A and B are shown apart, each in its own frame.
Chain A
Amino acid sequence: QVQLQESGPGLVKPSETLSLTCTVSGGSVSSGSYYWSWIRQPPGKGLEWIGYIYYSGSTNYNPSLKSRVTISVDTSKNQFSLKLSSVTAADTAVYYCAREILFGVDSSDLYFDYWGQGTLVTVSS
């Protein structure tokens, strides 16, 4: 059974960098069949896709966050990570990591089959 688990600080100061890691068990981030994604949800609001990484290191980011986001993968630890710089209160959210099945390069699928439980990150001084 595939499991994803987010970890990282629950409190980040404004202007600093939010850093989260997603540890994958029961599956491999080195598989060429998946994208490894980050999605967030501000309290009481809807879902926002942040970006994904492929095992090769190729990435795709939400244009609205692209200048501040870096997603990386560590195949030796079976983990992938999110860094979001220059955070403000608007970045306060539950952050989810998720696995997306890759149907094809030009596919318009959004098949997120496994999700972490989510971790709340609050931006506050």
Chain B
Amino acid sequence: QSVLTQPPSASGTPGQRVTISCSGSSSNIGSNYVYWYQQLPGTAPKLLIYRNNQRPSGVPDRFSGSKSGTSASLAISGLRSEDEADYYCAAWDDTPVFGTGTKVTVL
């Protein structure tokens, strides 16, 4: 059972803004970087956000990350159909831990 809790699902219509939360504790998010991964159906995860709010080259600026205390958030603005995927937060907690995952549906 993951120590990083995410809502099971989130949805929005094209163009909307969707936010996904990731709740942890002082031993993980509270004291370490948060990473976000996107997993499109049937594919391997892809790095979306690193070090709380940094985007790797090639990731659209529609994706943004933030962290406050023991929680973090991923925001997707200008939602597009290709954003329909599972999203996982991740952080160190003595060893790497992933969040429970959030399925984003584009209505």
Chain A positions within 8 Å of B, measured between CB atoms, are 46-49, 60-63, 96, 98, 108-113, 115-118
Contact = CB atoms under 8 A, between A and B. Distances in A.
A125 to B, nearest CB: 27
A60 B95 contact: yes
A47 B33 contact: no
A61 to B, nearest CB: 8
Interface of B: 2, 31-33, 35, 37, 43-47, 50-51, 56, 88, 90-92, 94-101
Instruction: Name the 8 nearest CB pairs between A and B, nearest first.
Output: A108-B32, A115-B44, A47-B98, A108-B92, A49-B96, A46-B101, A110-B35, A110-B90
Per DSSP, chain A at the interface is loop
Most buried by B among A96, A108, A115: A108
23 contacts: A46-B88, A46-B98, A46-B99, A46-B100, A49-B96, A49-B98, A60-B95, A63-B95, A108-B33, A109-B35, A109-B50, A110-B33, A110-B50, A110-B90, A110-B91, A110-B92, A110-B96, A111-B50, A112-B37, A112-B47, A115-B46, A117-B44, A118-B44
